Amino acid sequence: MLTLTKICQSYRTEEVETRALDDVSLEIAVGEFVAIMGPSGCGKSTLLNILGLLDSPTSGSYLFNGEEIARYSEKQLTALRRAMIGFVFQSFNLIEDLSVAENVEVALIYRGVAASERKRRVAAALERVNIGHRAKHLPQQLSGGQQQRVAIARALVSQPKLILADEPTGNLDTANGDAVMGLLTEVADSGTTVIMVTHSLAHAALVKRTVKLLDGRVVSETLMGI
């Protein structure tokens, strides 16, 4: 599904150039559940931003479903992201002024989905993550685990081909973290490709494949059972 070839990403200020990614090559198949690990500052989030079409690489090739998108314009990236990708963030990033249902609905309103269809799909997504009874609550009224479940529902409601999760359990306690991992595993088992950045060895052990980064480079790949 995704093929990265010699991807480099540099950030330049007036005085300093930082090479966040250095010659990263990676292939991820449809339906894979991949964990990306590494110490702070190794380029995990930068890699996730490129994979999620939130940023464009400085050099290299990125094939998304066979299309070369490394030089896509912002408009093209937005359209592709809208159609194919869902995000789950460490700090949940729910909109404080919207209720649970309205937060999930945000993922659909830019796709031209009719209001009645949006309502049906939001309800289904909330039920899938077992938070339907809190549809009218505001994010501030939920626990961390509940908020992350809402974020997952938001990522799933548009039926994306790819879900990117940036340390989805980082702000959660063990029990909630395990619950979230359970949800993500379920999503991956249903055929959606899931790429997860994590610091947790325990959670990385639950996935089929782990990619380790160090100083912007891929230093190892581990397959479960191998």
Partner 1 sequence: MFRNYLAAAFRNLVRNRLYAAINIIGLAIGFAAVVLIALFVRNELSFERFLPNADHTYLLTAAAEPAGKPRAASAITPPEFASWMKLDFPQIDQITRVNQTWLGVRHGDVEIDEHFMWADPNLFSVLQFPALYGDLSTALQQPESVVLTQKQARIFFGRDDVVGETLEFGRSYSLRVTAVLKDLPPETHLNSEIFASGLSSHSGLRDLDSQPRCTDCTLLHPGWGVYTYLRLKPNASPAELDQAIADDVPRHTNGDTKEAEGVKFSFALVALPKLHLRPDINNAMNLAIDPTIIVALCLVGVLILVVAAINFINLMTARASRRAVEVGVRKVAGAGRRDLVAQFIGESLLYVLFSMVAALALVEQLLPGLNAFLGRSIHIDWGHDVGFSLGILALIIIVGVLAGSYPALVMSAFRPAGVLQGPLSSRSGGSGLIRQALVLAQFAILVSVILATGVIYRQTTYALNEGMRLNKDLIYNSWNCKQAFRDAVAALPGVKAIACSNGYGLNYNGDKDDLTVTTSTGTQVASSMASVDFNFFQLFGVEPLAGRVFSLDRQGDKVSDDPKAPFQAPVVINQTAARQFGFSSPTEAIGKRITLSLGDNPGPSEIIGVVPDFSVDAVRHAAPSTVYFVNPKWFGLMHMKMTGHDLPETLAIIPKLWDRYGDNQQFDIYALDWFVHDKFADLTRQATLFAIVAVVALLIACLGLFGLAAFTAEQRTKEIGIRKAMGAERWDIVRLLVWSFTKPVLLANLIAWPVSFWVMDRWLRGFPNHIELAPWMFVAAGGVTLVIAWITVGGHAFAVASAKPVKALRYE
Which residues contribute to the site for partner 1 (CB under 8 A)? 45, 49, 52, 54-55, 75, 78-79, 81-83, 87, 89-91, 93-99, 102, 105-111, 138, 154, 158, 166
Instruction: Please identify, using beta-carbon distances, which residue of 137 and 208 lies nearer to partner 1.
Output: 137
Counted residue by residue, the chain has a size of: 226
Q: Write a three-state SS string for 154-169.
A: HHHCCCCCEEEEECCC
Q: Which residues contact 224 (CB under 8 A, 6 or more apart)?
A: 205, 207, 208, 209, 210
Q: State in angstroms the smallest separation of the CB of 138 from partner 1.
A: 8
Q: State in angstroms the smallest separation of the CB of 206 from partner 1.
A: 23
Contact 161, 84 (CB under 8 A): yes
Q: State in angstroms the smallest separation of the CB of 190 from partner 1.
A: 21
Instruction: Please identify, using beta-carbon distances, which residue of 108 and 129 lies nearer to partner 1.
Output: 108
Q: State in angstroms the smallest separation of the CB of 106 from partner 1.
A: 5
Instruction: Please identify, using beta-carbon distances, which residue of 110 and 182 lies nearer to partner 1.
Output: 110
Instruction: Please identify, using beta-carbon distances, which residue of 124 and 138 lies nearer to partner 1.
Output: 138
Distance CA 131, CA 120 (A): 15
Distance CA 46, CA 42 (A): 9
